[in-house]
Chains A and B, each alone.
Chain A
Amino acid sequence: MADGIFLERRGVPAVSLCTDKFHVTAAAMARLHGFPDYEWVEVPHPIASLSLPEVQSLARACLGDVLAILGVPE
């Protein structure tokens, strides 16, 4: 979260992603850095134990949300 916010503040478009198990921590970090309305993408937990096809499927599924935060028209 901190990295994404730091990059955005330096003018580098960035999207933070985390798994849903870290929602509360992510929200707390965003508030800490003075960005309570920060938007990020959450995916289902876990990802560390997924196979490559499962990771690729997850990436395709959340790509729309990533593009939306970046402001890229689909």
Chain B
Amino acid sequence: MTVEAQAAEAAGEPAVEAAEVRRAIEHYYEQGWTDGLPVVPATASYVEEFLAAVDRDPGEVLASMAHLNRECTVKVAAINAAMAGCRPEVFPVIVAALDAMRDDTRARGASRFSSGLWQSTTGTVPIMVVNGPVRGALGFNSQGNVFGPGFRANATVGRAIRLIALNAFGLVPHVLDQSTQSNPAKYTCCIAENEEESPWEPLSVEAGYEATASTIAFMMMRSAYHIEARSALRGEQVLEDMANSMSRTGALYSETTSVLVVVGPEHAALLAHQGFSKDDVRTYLYEHAACTRGELERAGKMGVSRDMRWLVPADHPDAIPGAAPSFVPGPDGEEVHRVLGSPDDVVVVVAGAANAGVSSIVELMGSSTSPSGRGGRRVPVMGEIGPTP
């Protein structure tokens, strides 16, 4: 023990050798168990606190990736939650997310969650949305800076999922994770819906849960971007900004895609005041999010590939002769290609501060009309969060 530590102990203060703590942190780096940021050393007794927060067998398999011969048990999830900096009381939220993923796999026979989607070159990012009383109880942020740092529950729950991907499933970059670039949300992405400042029913209630239930929704994101509509006078103007942004050809590796629209409270109030429900928002975006024939031609996306129906140049070797994306008459007289498969390809939540006309589009993987059958549904994969300590 150092002189300083001895003096501290003599004075009745806790004697912690900071150098030893840092050595433990370095050990985790050396083992390759981090996301690049330091993790909290997880001792057996500390992990027990997480296991005590749920009524589950530590050996139970919470999620598996059969094609990788890898599983994540309750205990391994607890270890990664501890490492992520979670408090033990948020562990039920993480368990609920993994339960929802596993149940989705069982229900559909296959799932985006147990598939190679986690490893693909897009570099997809799990995004979670929390609803219900657990938000206040555990300190989830649903208001200003909802996508940003500063709130332990948001930061650590998202991070725990990433550490599970890295450590339980071995999805290490350049090895089993083949992301070309990925995007900044991959460190952590967990938000809560701002139910209090929303004119509409929460995502959980839309999905059929009681308003008193706490839930977590799980989606796979490509990337997110801003809608700057500060001075719109009419709801349609905000929706046009959204539809235009969503119709970018760069989102289309397939004929259609899907989105999570995170409507800022100011936009939500404007839309609701002018008579738009969440369903109206979905329908409007489905009908208006469309790119032109000229845009697809210039981007080399007028051909459709065999088997997977990816968009390719019309003269690409893999293009089906004579096949092209579908078109409908557009608002300006020219033909347009709708980028959403159906209104079900739009999930709507309200989050953020009510201090400016800003919303976000979160592009999701797949759509209701994907050949892979992976994406797009009215309600994302969701699970109810069990009792929290």
Contacts and interface: CB of A to CB of B under 8 A. Distances in A.
A29 B68 CA distance: 7
A25 B178 contact: yes
A2 B178 contact: no
B176 interface: yes
A2 B317 contact: no
* Size bin of chain B's contact surface: 10 to 19
Contact of B68 (A22, A32, A55): A32
A61 interface: no
Interface in B295-347: 317
B67 interface: yes
A62 B178 CA distance: 24
A68 interface: no
A32 B69 contact: yes
B106 interface: no
A67 interface: no
B317 A28 contact: no
Interface residues of A, number: 12
Nearest to B177: A25
Contacts of A28: 170, 175-176
Contacts, number: 23
A32 B174 CA distance: 15
Interface in A2-27: 2, 22, 24-25
Contacts of A32: 68-70, 170, 176
Nearest to A50: B317
Given A32-B68, A33-B69, A52-B317, A22 B176 contact: no
A65 B176 CA distance: 25
B178 A51 contact: no
B317 A24 contact: no
Nearest to A29: B176
B317 A51 contact: yes
B67 A2 contact: yes
Nearest to A6: B67
A7 B116 CA distance: 18
A55 B67 CA distance: 29
A2 B68 CA distance: 9
Nearest to B65: A32
A10 to B, nearest CB: 16
Interface in B56-71: 67-70
Contacts of B70: 32
Given A32-B68, A32-B69, A55 B317 contact: yes
Contacts of B119: 25
With most chain B CB atoms within 10 A of its CB, the pick from A22, A29, A50 is A29
B181 to A, nearest CB: 14
19 contacts: A2-B67, A22-B178, A24-B174, A24-B175, A25-B119, A25-B175, A25-B176, A28-B170, A28-B175, A29-B68, A29-B176, A32-B69, A32-B70, A32-B170, A32-B176, A50-B317, A51-B317, A52-B317, A55-B317
Interface of A: 2, 22, 24-25, 28-29, 32-33, 50-52, 55
Given A25-B119, A32-B70, 7 more contacts: A2-B67, A24-B174, A29-B176, A32-B68, A50-B317, A51-B317, A55-B317
